[in-house]
Structure 1
């Protein structure tokens, strides 16, 4: 994303250059576009995985040499040399290692060997640390006897090349080409190949004295938003103060699923990475962030009809909503990080926000995918709200979050995966195209859900487009419009 002018106009590459799931984007066209457009830009947020590999998923599939990747990175140096006043912020993932045998976003052999690859890395790491259990050694021996050498060599070879690219990017931060860098952690685990690569990156960050310029914390898909908020805060010359209020005392110490640390530690990273700081009180804060955390162990949103005991007893949603309503009446900017469940909204919380007339008064809301995906999204939106206010674009984005996070992720997707797509003759990984029968059903059903759960005297969300971008049920493509009744 490129940003220019006092009004901070944003420019992005055309979709025709971008990749589609396992199909990489055209990196040469993308580089050419960047080099041409950057001439009139004031700054840029750069997804390095896209420029190097053609996308995040292609970064797990490519056969580029280290030499090729370093040559591509050097083009950033040339851009900075030509325009030294440019602010370049970037992010680059450390290659993940999922715990399951599914090849939907991994090499084809991951369908047969994914679990074994993860467990081998996990147990080998624990063995190196002398904390391995006897039964794990037995499992490791069994995996080693079955896992084909060509599979492991392909996987580890690509990891090694990608890690060299990660280290090379840190050199760009050191020499000032990149002003600020985030290594987001996708599907984190405390042990394994990814955890070991993260240790290598952390060590290199320390060696280069880059602790304040290169962050590493859980997240991935939201990081472009985070860096955009940071860029605008820098241009505005401010560090907004954010006061977090949690629904549970223990919520700060919950480790969200797909992540590797306590919630509050990641929250501090997310706020600071966006160019803000944590406030010590609501009175001094520019923004209040209401975080609906789990009371103890995090569940998936699809299971919330039968929540763990701790969801009802170890947290207090009522107080959180009443507190937010009170602050809104005092003129405070209030946002909601709905991170009680993974992969979807807490429908009880959404109901309460609607009852209090808060849905479209908020500075931000998010409840999609992982806890960090939601945190980074809502923090970024809310920080932009402190600068630009309650614009139509803001209300449309709020509407999109309610449609996608609450309507689709928490309700409609659950219905699809519970047997509906099977009855239609498809499966959740292979539908009938982006705009087929399934997409038509989703649009109609989602409109019903919005009418039931979201729309009211406060405002109405209308779907203007609906499609299934990756021909599977996990994500939905939506365009929506907010209107006031």
Structure 2
């Protein structure tokens, strides 16, 4: 065969193929591009409930999804564990920095007491309350066009630490539960109530009850500020509740007062929870600004889950979901196909054998993902163990975790449901309003960062590592892991945390679940994102193991 005779026709063919590709660029395979997080273009100021990551960093990272730069106070003004924040300095900082902000998210507990833990112990007599009320009036007068979005937390029923004695504290809790049942119109053991009242010292009982009375008066003054137009919105949260307790009596009084003041339900809101409130209020503000009310389809892992009351909660899972969806300005829908996202609530309890349905739950989630449904997964455990959660099975079945719109399994049901609902709403609303493909990519990247932050902390740390770390600390002589001496052992404690979590990260980021690409469908076009790598920065923010500071940096490529 004369191969030279074939060269000329081949060259001609290649020439015309090149011309075809030049005139049809879409036919060429798309090149991968690195995706950066969203660039904030809106400003909002935050006075956080306290310095812990759920109260501050979650709001910063959640805000970034929707393009908010969240301004937070300097560390020297912030509380640090049992040391309260500088309330006078915090008020001055807020007044000096509120100019140019779209809104202010304000923790009343931080401005009055110096943080949540301080609010549990400190007293605020009428003169101190009036000084704060006058400050808020002046803040509004100086900035009449900036919405003041305030939140205040009802005291938990656990007695103050200054009430000493194991038996007396135990008796006060029993007394609170009986008084709560009595106020709800339920039959109680009157003999037991009389015994408790006789056993509790008058001084301790008076101090305990005065704490709720003081808080009730404070919140009534704040409600009046809403009626005056000083506060644009007020959210009253309930910290670590139970179904029947004295805090519920205060809450009933406040609800009656709100009705008497004839305030719209969206102006003053009672909810359960504390740490997640600032994030949910940010989502609500963003939705209001964009005239967006997310349609949320709620589904559960087990028929018993809607009626399940999880630890530290006063209400069941279904009512908690109702509250958090309403708080962000959303509405529930019975049509999954019409939903902006699906809120999948899992709350497993091995004592009730709900874990036996986990394989079915994985199949349900796989089906939803295959249908292209956005899913916000709340992955709770009654006993705070990995064996009751869904994530390990999802990883084992190679479920594409980057397809999740949100994930949360932190601490209480109100914390987790509020966090998942808020971030899914921020993401959904932001994508609907994205002005370019680049912005849509940035929104997705910011959301993926928040997603992996939650997976690493809520599952790998809180369900896998915290017990091991606590056990190691106790073997080293620490009997109270909620009061560590990090001043002298910070390096050792953090090194133990980092080594343990890096092992999880190494396995996680090489799993098929993590590496699986996911197709995103947005108004600015479709694209596929793959998370190629993930690094993490983490440490103990306070001298205890209850929570960690954790920030991931995902390396994301788009096609």
Which range, TM-score by smaller chain? 0.7 to 0.9
CA distance in 2, matches of 1:347, 1:312: 6
How is 1:333-412 mapped onto 2 (pairs within 5 angstroms)?
Answer: 333-341=374-382, 343=384, 348-354=389-395, 355-386=397-428, 387-388=430-431, 390-412=443-465
Query: Aligned in 2, Cα 1:445/1:142: closer, same or farther, shift over 3 Å?
Result: same
Residue 433 of structure 1 pairs with residue 486 of structure 2: yes
- Corresponding position of 1:277: 331
Change in Cα spacing, 1:368 to 1:123, as seen in structure 2 (3 Å) is same
1:46 to 68, 93, 106: 106
Answer yes or no: is 1:466 the counterpart of 2:539.
yes
User: Gapped runs of 5+ residues in structure 2?
Assistant: 1-43, 47-62, 432-439, 516-530
Q: 1:56-94 CA distances to partner (integer Å, 9 max, x unpaired)?
A: 111122133122112212222222233332222221111
Q: Deviations over 1:389-448 (max 9, x none)?
A: 55433222212111111111111112233x321112212233330623222111111222
The answer for the alignment partner of 2:215 in structure 1 is: 162
Aligned partner of 1:261 in structure 2 is: 315
Larger CA deviation: 186-195 vs 117-126:
117-126
Residue among 421, 426, 431 paired with 2:473: 421
Q: Distance in 1 between matches of 2:140 and 2:400?
A: 45
Contact 1:17 1:25 in 2 (8 A): yes
Q: Structure 1: 5+ residue runs without aligned partners?
A: 300-306
Which whole-Å CA distance do the structure 1 matches of 2:495 and 2:219 have between them? 42
Q: Is the 8 A contact 2:183 2:249 kept in 1?
A: no
Q: Secondary structure at the match of 1:63?
A: coil
Q: After TM superposition, give the deviation of residue 112 of structure 1 in Å.
A: 5.9
| Conserved? CA contact 2:84–2:115, under 8 Å | yes
**Bigger mean CA offset, 448-457 vs 116-125:** 448-457
User: Which residue number corresponds to residue 308 of structure 1?
Assistant: 351
SS in 1 for 2:457: helix
How many angstroms apart in 2 are the aligned matches of 1:352 and 1:484? Answer: 25
C-alpha displacement at 1:30, in angstroms? 0.9
2:522 is aligned to: none
Q: Which has the higher contact order (CA 8 A, sep 6+)?
A: 2
Shift of 1:156: 2.4
Q: CA deviation at 1:345?
A: 5.8
What is the deviation of 1:344? 6.2
Shift of 1:233: 1.0
Q: How many residues align?
A: 463
**Which residue is 2:152 aligned to?**
92
Aligned partners of 2:386 and 2:464 also within 8 Å: no
Alpha carbons 1:180, 1:214 under 8 Å: kept: yes
Cα distance, 1:367 vs structure 2: 0.2
Equivalent-residue separation in structure 1 for 2:385 and 2:280 (angstroms): 20
Whether the 8 Å CA contact 1:339–1:345 is kept in 2: the answer is no
Q: 1:441-456 maps to which residues of 2 (within 5 A)?
A: 441-453=496-508, 455-456=510-511
Q: Residues 386 and 392 of structure 2 are in contact (CA less than 8 Å); yes or no, is this contact kept in structure 1?
A: no
The 1-side partners of 2:333 and 2:372 are apart by 17
Q: 1:308 to 1:127 in 2, by over 3 A?
A: closer
In the TM superposition, residue 21 of structure 1 has moved relative to its aligned partner by 2.2
Post-superposition shift, 1:41? 0.9
Contact 2:79 2:114 survives alignment (8 Å): yes
Q: Is the 8 A contact 2:380 2:389 kept in 1?
A: no
Question: What SS does structure 1 have at the residue aligned with 2:85?
Answer: coil
RMSD: 2.6
What is the rounded CA distance, in whole Å, between the counterparts of 2:68 and 2:500 in structure 1?
37
Q: Distance in 2 between matches of 1:253 and 1:360?
A: 30
Contact in 2 for aligned 1:287/1:334 (Cα 8 Å): yes
The alpha-carbon deviation at position 173 of structure 1 amounts to 1.6
Q: 1: distance between equivalents of 2:179 and 2:399?
A: 53
CA drift at 1:34: 1.1
Q: Which has the larger radius of gyration?
A: 2
CA 1:80–1:343: 2 relative to 1, 3 Å: farther
Shift of 1:270: 0.3
How far apart, in 1, do the equivalents of 2:364 and 2:464 lie? 27
Does the 8 Å contact 2:112/2:124 carry over to 1? no
Distance 2:275 2:215 in 1: 19
- Counterparts of 1:318-337 in structure 2, within 5 Å, are 318-337=359-378
Mapped to 2, the partners of 1:286 and 1:482 lie a distance apart of 25
Where do 1:221-260 residues align within 5 Å? 221-260=275-314
Structure 2: how far apart are the matches of 1:266 and 1:116? 29
Q: CA contact under 8 A between 1:239 and 1:277: conserved in structure 2?
A: yes
CA shift at 1:184, angstroms? Answer: 1.4
In structure 1, what is the Cα distance between the partners aligned to 2:183 and 2:426? 45
Aligned-partner Cα distance in 2 for 1:329–1:125: 47
Query: 1:212 aligns to what?
Result: 266
Q: Deviations over 1:212-234 (max 9, x none)?
A: 32222221111111001111111
Residue 319 to residue 173, structure 1, CA distance change in 2 (3 Å): farther
Residue 177 of structure 2 is aligned with which of 91, 101, 122? 122
Going from structure 1 to structure 2, the CA distance change for 1:77 and 1:343 (only over 3 Å counts) comes to: farther
Deviations 1:100-121 (A, max 9, x none): x7x7xx4362756322222223
